[in-house]
Amino acid sequence: MVLIILAGVGAGAINSLVGSGTLITFPTLVTLGFAPLTATISNAIGLVAGGISSTWAYRRELGGQWARLRWQIPGSLLGAVLGAYLLLHLPESVFNRIVPALLIGALVLVVVGPRIQSLAQRRAVAAGRSVDQLSDGRLAALALGTFAVGVYGGYFAAAQGILLIGVMGVLLPESMQRMNAAKNLLVLIVNVVAAAAYVATAFDRISWPAAGLIAVGSLIGGYLGGHYGRRLSPNALRAVILVVGLIGLYRLMAV
């Protein structure tokens, strides 16, 4: 119980800043003996609380972004529905085969995350334009990219925040903090939709004690990450994610 709560705190804080907290909670649950599908579903439900606290902590940075977010939010909603549908309707054996590859891909994203964020910062240098000046083509590409990340997040949530930062960094003239605020909101939407789908259709596969412990931890972690986590070293956070993720990957491959 203590390990799951601590994992939830770490995941909430990391999701608020980096967007890879699932790589702490998911491998922790798997390492403790939960089936991969149960771990994914329970983890997604638990992390909703952390998404709420981190989005609230970044609420000021959301100001002035709603003209663009009204295009992105439907993409996240529809993508999450499709991703959750795939998770619940594909055979569990398919998920057990796919999830190690997804976990490896997410860990790779954590490693290259600094480069993605560096690209986003260079793009933000040209921030003399407002969101309303984006072309229709760029808005369409942004909505499509957000949808694709939503599908990924509804199926397997790890590193969807980094993917969103990458998509927005390429297409938007925004600062990192403002993109991070938008990322927190969009990831929260994906997790809420996915969690609702899991509760409605896979109630018997949820570990409610694990989901509740993660919710408590992530609620605290999301608040702390949003308010104080910017002082921490991103490299230290990524090191923790990599270590725990590799342990979980080893556990998955050994099953």
- Pick from 13-27, 34-48, 127-141, 235-249: least confident: 127-141
Half-sphere exposure of 46 toward its Cβ, with a 13 Å CA cutoff? 36
pLDDT tens digit string along 60-70? 888 888 888 98
Return the pLDDT at 255. Answer: 55
pLDDT tens digit string along 125-147? 665 544 445 667 778 888 998 99
Cβ atoms 13, 229 nearer than 8 A = yes
Radius of gyration for the chain, computed over Cα atoms and rounded to the nearest angstrom: 17
- Tokens 């499709």, residue located: 82
Return the pLDDT at 132. Answer: 46
Is residue 219 pLDDT above 90, yes or no? Answer: yes
Cβ atoms 26, 248 nearer than 8 A = yes
Cβ atoms 111, 246 nearer than 8 A = no
Return the pLDDT at 147. Answer: 95
Is residue 80 pLDDT above 80, yes or no? Answer: yes
Cβ atoms 24, 14 nearer than 8 A = yes
Three-state DSSP state, 233: coil
The pairs formed by 163-167 with CB atoms below 8 angstroms and a separation of 24 or more are 163/109, 164/19, 165/19, 165/113, 165/116, 165/117, 165/120, 166/116, 166/119, 166/120, 167/142
Q: Which amino acid is at 181?
A: A
Residues contacting residue 178 through CB under 8 Å, at least 6 positions apart: 61, 62, 65
User: Which range, 58-67, 117-126, 170-179, has the best average confidence (pLDDT)?
Assistant: 58-67
Distance in angstroms (rounded) separating the CA atoms of residues 196 and 137: 32
Write the DSSP assignment of 176-216 as a string of letters. Answer: HHHHHHHHHHHHHHHHHHHHHHHHHH-GGG--HHHHHHHHH
Burial of 79: CB neighbours in 10 Å, binned 0-12, 13-18, 19+ = buried
Q: In percent, how much of the chain has pLDDT > 70?
A: 81
Return the pLDDT at 172. Answer: 74
Q: How confident is the model at residue 211 (pLDDT cuts 50, 70, 90)?
A: very high
Chain mean position to CA 79:
13
Neighbours of 62 (CB within 10 A): 15
